Structure 1
Amino acid sequence: MQFRILIGDITKWKADAIVNSANSTLLGVSGTDSAIHRAGGVSLTAACRNLRGCPEGKAKITYGYHLPSRFVIHTVGPLWTGGKKNEDKILISCYQQSLALAKERELHHIAFTSIATADKRYPLAKAAADAVPVIMNEGMGLDRIDMVCPDKMTQDAYTKATVIFWLEYLATADKNEKLECIDEAMAALTLLHMKENEPDPILLSEGIRQMKGFLRPFLDIRKKNSIIDMEKAASQIIEAY
Structure 2
Amino acid sequence: MMIFQTFRHLSDYNFARINKFRTPEPVAISFDLKSDGYIVVEREKRSRFEYWSKKAVQFPIGERWLVISASSVIGGAVFTFTIMPILSLISVALVFRARVRKTLTWPKFRVNKEFIDDQLDSIKNKNSTNRFDWLEPSILRLVEGLIFVELAIISDIDRSQIFLLVFAIIFNHYDNMYRALQGERKPKWIAIAGGFIFGRLLVTLIWVTLGLSITILVYYFSILFFLISSVQWIQSHRVKVA
What range describes the TM-score normalised by the shorter chain of this pair? 0.3 to 0.5
Give TM-score, length-normalised by structure 2.
0.36
Q: Which has the larger radius of gyration?
A: 2
Instruction: Say which structure is richer in strand.
Output: 1
Give TM-score, length-normalised by structure 1.
0.36
